[in-house]
A and B are shown apart, each in its own frame.
Chain A
């Protein structure tokens, strides 16, 4: 009966189901993007516990050195690197220097122990998919997997860096680098970077020779994961010192970013909830408006022995069926939105969002939408319930 009715009112069924699909897809996408991006950003530290950089914002320092976003807050001296590297608590200290790009992708100078000593996940190092790690004494480069994919760089290719973090065709350096390695994907911001020897950036023609030994920051991994060591360094650099910034813990600092933009989440969620309410309202309106033309059919069904509650249930079930069809389509909308967002997020930050990853919202959003639809269906169902049979059959003689 419900299937027949849906087919008889096919156009309104399709339109209403599509509006539910849009609302449900939007709701799920907003929720999943928020959760996945928050988890990904606070979880992605590329294998480091802390960052040492110039005095300034911790968030800016982390975004600049870990996520390769934002401007550098300034440089630190080589002595600062030597000091922190020799600290007994530090297991790995990776210096980085930046200031150049190739076609918009950042070129970062570093040491080879980034590839040999850092585990970005337990047991996983930044390995090469092709080629080898650069020779620190040569103009060689290792390309992150995302950059290699985008620019089509392979071992043996050469390129000339451009000055600055933003691509300007007129600011090309004369030095020519040879790609010697392409990294395996790590799904971290490292994939979006072209890595060259530290001195390559420091001594690039056109850079200030007085700052040749300066670094943009030092990425740190501690021997001991207890917070005591980090607290001591925090006290030393942030409270007692006034020249450097010790950014720790990275996840907590990144979460500040999400706290700052939390209102965007709330606005998007509010919009999604409103769309959901409007969409369920459209179920109510579409079924309710069709009640006039259905009165005769309802009366016939009642004359054949259908109980009032059968008719009532059929109308509620019809609303539920429209919502269910809509929510099946909503998954397609959700995957489409998330795929598009994931492409943008990956290209901008290197962080990977998974459009197919399961999330609790994929259970509660459809159930919630179906429950709302059932509620919306109660109004026309009540009208159907009260349809007088005799009056709506053949004219009384």
Chain B
């Protein structure tokens, strides 16, 4: 059984003028445990919405999101929060670190709502991503690449089964981008987490053996593409 199964997943938005826009319409998608898959998609292809649906941040209008045997669509918001806190790690394009918290506190926060804070584990993760000497630094005191590494450590803090990465290299220069991608992939392998990464960067996508094109996967983006 796949770790992640999407079936007839659909998400629509109502526009200010009352119209209904379908953003996600995925008939079927599977991701096996420990596998690393890259989703390619241009801006506006619905990739962030898709990741939000998988993470349970958004509830679908129709269809199922089955993660580790649990259908998120059948859970209430609190249930989805619980799944997100225990089984999903999320790496954002803009890192989304809390500015008032140090590196180690940001990582501890990643555990707070799931297994509970474990300072030793948080510090070992930061050592693993090369920030052992920056534990008590605040995000503003770090370079962009270093902030990205904190975000990686935080995403792995609750020992997730699935890591979602939304344009993780989008804000990095070329060199940092390569290093960051390598780190994310290695860390996911090391901690046996599946990785679903979305990017529009061909070079990033080229690193993955398994790739999916959102234009094909998401009928909504395909329809918009055709409509355009």
Q: Which residue numbers of A lie inside 8 Å of B, CB to CB?
A: 1, 4-5, 7-8, 296-297, 300-310, 389-390, 393-394, 396-397
Residue B48 contacts which of A7, A296, A304, A394 (CB distance < 8 angstroms)? A394
Q: Once the chains bind, are A303 and B166 in contact (CB under 8 Å)?
A: no
A193 to chain B, nearest CB (A): 63
Q: Report A-chain residues with C-beta under 8 Å of the C-beta of B112.
A: 1, 304, 306
**B44, B82, B154: the one within 8 Å of A397 (CB):** B44
* Number of cross-chain contacts by CB at 8 Å: 79
Q: How large is the interface on B (under 10, 10 to 19, 20 to 34, 35 or more residues)?
A: 35 or more
Q: What's the minimum C-beta distance from B34 to chain A, rounded to whole angstroms?
A: 22
B86 partner residues in chain A, CB cutoff 8 A: 305
Question: Could you tell me if A310 and B98 are in contact, using CB atoms closer than 8 angstroms?
Answer: no
Contact present for A303 and B96 (CB under 8 Å): yes
Query: From residue 81 to 120 of chain B, which have CB atoms closer than 8 A to chain A?
Result: 81-82, 84-86, 90, 92-94, 96-98, 100-101, 105, 109-110, 112-114
Across-interface contacts of B85 in A (CB, < 8 A): 304-306
- Give 29 A-B contacts (CB < 8 Å), ordered by A residue: A5-B100, A8-B100, A296-B96, A297-B100, A300-B96, A300-B98, A303-B84, A303-B92, A303-B96, A304-B90, A304-B109, A304-B110, A305-B81, A305-B86, A305-B158, A306-B81, A307-B82, A307-B113, A308-B78, A389-B52, A390-B49, A390-B57, A393-B57, A393-B92, A394-B93, A394-B96, A396-B49, A397-B44, A397-B48
7 shortest A-B CB distances, which residue pairs? Answer: A305-B85, A305-B113, A394-B94, A8-B100, A305-B84, A307-B81, A300-B96
Contacting pair A308 B48 (CB below 8 A):
no
B78 to chain A, nearest CB (A): 5
Does B73 touch A at the CB level, under 8 Å? no
Q: How far is the CB of A213 from chain B (nearest CB, A)?
A: 83
Query: For the complex, would chain A's binding face be called helix, strand, loop or mixed by DSSP majority?
Result: helix
- Contact between B96 and A393, CB atoms less than 8 A apart: yes
Residues of A near B149 (CB, < 8 A) are: none
The answer on a CB contact under 8 Å between A308 and B90 is no
The residue from B48, B98, B110 contacting A396, defined by CB atoms under 8 A apart = B48
Report B's interface with A, CB cutoff 8 A.
43-45, 47-49, 52, 55, 57-58, 77-78, 81-82, 84-86, 90, 92-94, 96-98, 100-101, 105, 109-110, 112-114, 154, 158, 166-167
B84 contacts which of A4, A8, A304 (Cβ < 8 Å)? A304
Select from chain B the residue with minimum beta-carbon distance to A7.
B100
Q: CA–CA, A17 to B167, complex, Å?
A: 43
**What are the residues of chain B within 8 A of A394 when measuring CB–CB?**
48, 92-94, 96, 166
Q: How far is the CA of A7 from the CA of B99 in the complex (A)?
A: 12
CB-nearest residue of chain B relative to A5?
A: B100
What's the nearest-Cβ distance from chain B to residue A1, in Å?
Answer: 8
Known A-B contacts A303-B96, A304-B109, A389-B57; the reply to A397 vs B47 at CB < 8 A is: yes
Contacts of A310 in B (CB 8 A): 113
* A296: B residues at CB distance < 8 A: 96
B90 and A303 within 8 A (CB): yes
Q: Which B residues are CB-close (under 8 A) to A309?
A: 78
